[in-house]
Structure 1
């Protein structure tokens, strides 16, 4: 559970704080980083920075950064590896160096606050709650317990992150999310929340989601589909969120080829299936994959597939065959199990 005094003591021992986001950070990660930065400021740390790697492409994530004026800097390994004793390193919404982040494996971490499943989480201060619905929930507790002045920007960021991570308090939500929401509600800016909730969608994203709909196949209550090769990374989770609501579908897994990787996104409402475990067991030996029971993601290097053919259609067909076979095997399904 949150121990704000222990965290404040550690922050008070530092002169600067580097907060590293996970790759392609989402609102939960960004809001948590913003809140930890405020806690560090209250503890007397004047030099603070938030680093990210990958891209911020999802329209909600871009709107979040722009409307809330979150100051981000591209990941710089020198700020992480070659730091002084009083330069603290923190992870929010992820926990292990080299896993969904650009930090070299084995790097010593000072602070980890996360809600994603992970093993062997090590840091001087760890608050790792797999049962929490959002990392922003944990940070909201710290902000409340520290007695910080909560302005509209911070409250809006944390409240929106909790709402987005739990799909409007419907997915993976616990009592802690409702308590945090009650605490933040009176401080948040309703107009900003509305703008963040309804950002514009690019035509390329709509096209990618349309491809996922066209390419779908359903086996039992499991829907598998792909978007082919795309630059719209965030179309995958958006497609998965939409397709899992299809009548008769309880699990939806979407994949696509993005640059030199195969990206996957999964959603499930089936109590018998932990989609994070499914993706990890199916692809953990060839890439990184995992997440929660209801939602998960993965990334697999194209590797030898990239050298096999320069024809995108042929490449997609090969990748689809391999990905589909692995998923069906892990789910213990066969093509004869019925469906469309």
Structure 2
């Protein structure tokens, strides 16, 4: 049986669906949850909820939720723990309770749809495809297979998710993404896609990216940068995307203190490096980290760092030293940096 039909059959026997996004959800996760909710409604489920934890702080993500009117609810443990009989629990774009989500470890999951590397998935229905570039690709296939009613909001959400997850089809895109995009083209709102692609940027985001540029350290083709404390979590992947384009840089890793944790974001075009494995190897014993060959992220609790000092400058000096040392060791880099200079204006 086609996975879409198997899923529809499972949903048809349920009365309620709770869809849990991963922490700080991105467009791929949000669009996939949006599409799964539509599929559930078509299967006869009158009530479904989309839950998220963390923040929706990236300016594109905020615009995505607001302009497409996606109904989200902040995660509360009771929403999962106290679900009524006949309710199903679904994960999209992540797979394991307690890993990049606030669902307690060991919680039974009914549906998992994901494309990230993972070997510990347990659920009643699992569609796990590491070979595709986005979870939205899988959900687009479902929508097509099941003849789910489409409108401009759903078409735009899935199309934008495909574009954002693959950086405009330049990173990790497969024929499946192009096929999905070709079908979605007739359902998406072009003007809305352009608006989502060029949202306004906060001053705090610009400051964080500037800090990453100033603090960069380059060893060979690897760039590492710490930006101190920031309220703009999503400035980290934006900084990593930008720094990865610098001449001679094949791998860029950016980290910073956000609330009570250290967030990391990494990008790599070096065929010798699986950046998800690198972050997992460097920080898997003290936090959660991992991802794809070319794109990865992670989080390390401040823990003893926060207990050592309340001064942000002193705190980040320690964080910077420890995080950089772990990355240097994992990547087997020289301890001598090639450069650590701010970007300077070209002479007139």
Superposition TM-score, scaled by structure 2 size: 0.96
Instruction: Give 3-state SS (helix, strand or coil) of 2:332's partner.
Output: coil
1:278 equivalent in alignment to 2:278: yes
Instruction: Give 3-state SS (helix, strand or coil) of 1:228's partner.
Output: strand
Aligned residue runs from structure 1 range 41-120, under 5 A: 41-120=41-120
Instruction: Give 3-state SS (helix, strand or coil) of 2:289's partner.
Output: strand
Aligned residue runs from structure 1 range 237-248, under 5 A: 237-248=237-248
CA contact (8 A) 1:134 1:166 kept: yes
The aligned residue for residue 343 of structure 2 is none
CA contact (8 A) 1:97 1:106 kept: yes
The aligned residue for residue 292 of structure 2 is 292
Give the distance between the partners of 1:85 and 1:119, measured in 2 at CA. 29
Shift of 1:199: 0.2
Shift of 1:339: 5.0
The aligned residue for residue 197 of structure 1 is 197
The aligned residue for residue 235 of structure 1 is 235
Give the distance between the partners of 2:74 and 2:338, measured in 1 at CA. 47
Shift of 1:190: 0.3
> Which string of whole-angstrom CA distances, capped at 9 and with x for unpartnered residues, describes residues 265-324 of structure 1?
000011111110000000000000001011100000000000111221111111111001
Give the distance between the partners of 1:254 and 1:339, measured in 2 at CA. 16
The aligned residue for residue 224 of structure 1 is 224
CA contact (8 A) 2:217 2:338 kept: no
Give the distance between the partners of 2:319 and 2:107, measured in 1 at CA. 34
> Which string of whole-angstrom CA distances, capped at 9 and with x for unpartnered residues, describes residues 87-136 of structure 1?
00000000000000010000000000001111210100000111110000
Shift of 1:2: 5.4
Alignment coverage as a number of residue pairs: 340
Instruction: Give 3-state SS (helix, strand or coil) of 1:319's partner.
Output: helix
Q: Which runs of 5+ in 2 are unaligned?
A: 341-348
CA contact (8 A) 2:132 2:176 kept: yes
Give the distance between the partners of 1:52 and 1:39, measured in 2 at CA. 19
Q: Which sits farther off after the overlay, 37-46 or 74-83?
A: 74-83
The aligned residue for residue 14 of structure 1 is 14
The aligned residue for residue 328 of structure 1 is 328
Instruction: Give 3-state SS (helix, strand or coil) of 1:141's partner.
Output: helix
The aligned residue for residue 25 of structure 1 is 25
Give the distance between the partners of 2:272 and 2:245, measured in 1 at CA. 17
The aligned residue for residue 313 of structure 1 is 313
Give the distance between the partners of 1:238 and 1:224, measured in 2 at CA. 14
Query: Over aligned residue pairs, what C-alpha RMSD do you find?
Result: 1.1
Shift of 1:77: 1.5
Give the distance between the partners of 1:85 and 1:141, measured in 2 at CA. 29
Instruction: Give 3-state SS (helix, strand or coil) of 2:89's partner.
Output: strand
CA contact (8 A) 1:2 1:138 kept: no
Give the distance between the partners of 1:61 and 1:33, measured in 2 at CA. 14
Instruction: Give 3-state SS (helix, strand or coil) of 1:51's partner.
Output: strand
The aligned residue for residue 267 of structure 1 is 267
